[in-house]
């Protein structure tokens, strides 16, 4: 199996890769820092704890049941209605990945609101009420304008010319407050407007020293939370992840260092081509399946049976703001309608 060293550089973390338990990971729905207006409204990060031979047998069985001539199978093969029985077999209790897989979901628009409120107010506590009240308070169009302006404010621009400004965001906030002064959500926007100094400081920092981990990219906190889950109980694990452009050697090394500093047993992170590792293929299947099911549920067109199949795999630490859909997606122990807090990661 080919791949980079566990720290992405072939360095000292790589030496541990053969001795530590390996957790295979992949994602679906990545648009980088573009959290609104992109291709997807949900980001899913899946991880599986399967031996290589068991994963290979699972992939072979999926191929045998589906019988597609495609060289590489993806989640959309399993999501086709004619292959529903195969999908249900994969996710079913007693199935090949039950109890050995997990998926962390991120509702992108909620992540954006949380990050914006956290930056400008120093505490994201008002993110949930703003997110849930905003569309009704400001109208769908006004709410979309707010989200787009927030995305523009926080998105990192490398070598931007001219220098980025917070003016478009605060102009949008002011217009919404003036148009809807009595709305409860407008009081949150007024407090955001008072946080302009925080925005200016953030923009100055990103101009002088661009953030190694952009605050809007959901991949990095997902990796951290994945490592924390599988290393619980004091063990140390190596994450084996499908290649991703955002996972540069420098970022991988810092991810590992930051996790270890905070007591997370992350022994390393190794990049592979999913086509060369059946475990990562299974993670790819689960991530794509979860993203589609969660997105359908978010849009109000969810399939109750498929959502029920996915629910045991959903991480309680998922980043989700929509109350109705979360009540259907959340793990049973998490209780209906709970919106989880965001771990900002490294």
**Res. 209: pLDDT tops 90:** no
**pTM, two decimal places:** 0.90
Residues 102 and 19 in one domain: yes
Considering 153, 185, 208, which residue would you say is the last residue of a domain? 208
Residues 80 and 148 in one domain: no
Residues 104 and 227 in one domain: yes
Considering 208, 233, 249, which residue would you say is the last residue of a domain? 208
Distance CA 272, CA 269 (A): 10
Considering 182, 208, 234, which residue would you say is the last residue of a domain? 208
Q: What is the mean pLDDT of residues 85-106?
A: 96
Burial 298-308 (b: 16+ CB within 10 A, else e): beeebeeebbe
Q: How confident is the model at residue 344 (pLDDT cuts 50, 70, 90)?
A: very low
Say if 5 falls within a structural domain: no
Distance CA 150, CA 123 (A): 16
Residues 182 and 42 in one domain: no
Residues 178 and 38 in one domain: no
Distance CA 79, CA 289 (A): 7
**Which helix (H) or strand (E) segment is 110 a member of?**
helix 108-121
Say if 7 falls within a structural domain: no
Residues 221 and 202 in one domain: no
Say if 301 falls within a structural domain: yes
Is residue 206 within 8 Å of residue 164, measured between CB atoms? yes
The parent domain of residue 27 ranges over: 12-108+214-334
**Domain tally, the chain:** 2
Residues 78 and 172 in one domain: no
Residues 175 and 230 in one domain: no
Q: What is the mean pLDDT of residues 331-335?
A: 62
Four-point Cα dihedral 110, 292, 104, 269, nearest 10: -120
Q: What is the mean pLDDT of residues 23-46?
A: 94
Say if 18 falls within a structural domain: yes
């Amino acid at each position: 199996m080919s791949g980079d060293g566990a720290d992405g550089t072939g360095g000292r973390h790589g030496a541990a890769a053969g001795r530590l338990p390996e957790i295979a990971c992949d994602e679906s729905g990545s648009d980088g820092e573009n959290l609104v207006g992109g291709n997807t409204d949900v980001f899913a990060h899946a991880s599986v704890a399967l031996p290589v031979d068991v994963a290979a047998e699972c992939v072979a069985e999926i191929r045998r049941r589906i019988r597609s001539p495609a060289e590489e199978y993806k989640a959309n093969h399993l999501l086709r209605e004619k292959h529903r029985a195969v999908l249900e077999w994969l996710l079913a209790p007693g199935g090949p990945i039950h109890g050995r897989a997990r998926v962390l979901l991120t509702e992108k628009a909620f992540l954006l609101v949380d990050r914006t409120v956290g930056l400008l107010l120093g505490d994201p506590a008002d993110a949930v009420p703003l997110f849930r009240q905003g569309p009704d308070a400001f109208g769908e169009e006004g709410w979309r304008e707010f989200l787009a302006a927030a995305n523009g404010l926080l998105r990192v621009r490398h070598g931007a010319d001219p220098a980025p400004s917070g003016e478009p965001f605060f102009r949008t906030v002011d217009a919404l407050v003036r148009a809807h002064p009595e709305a409860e959500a407008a009081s949150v926007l007024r407090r955001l407007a008072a946080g302009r100094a925080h925005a200016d400081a953030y923009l100055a920092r990103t101009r002088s020293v661009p953030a190694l981990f952009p605050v809007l990219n959901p991949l990095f906190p997902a990796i951290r939370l994945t490592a924390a889950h599988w290393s619980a109980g004091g063990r140390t694990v190596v994450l084996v992840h499908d290649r991703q452009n955002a996972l540069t050697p420098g970022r991988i090394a810092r991810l590992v260092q930051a996790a270890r500093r905070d007591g997370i047993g992350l022994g390393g992170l190794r990049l592979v081509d999913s086509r060369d590792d059946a475990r990562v293929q299974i993670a790819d299947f689960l991530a794509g399946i979860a993203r589609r099911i969660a997105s359908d549920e978010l849009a109000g067109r969810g399939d109750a049976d498929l959502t029920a199949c996915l629910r045991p795999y959903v991480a309680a630490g998922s980043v989700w703001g929509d109350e109705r859909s979360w009540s259907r997606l959340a793990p049973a122990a998490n209780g209906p309608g709970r919106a989880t807090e965001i771990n900002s990661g490294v």
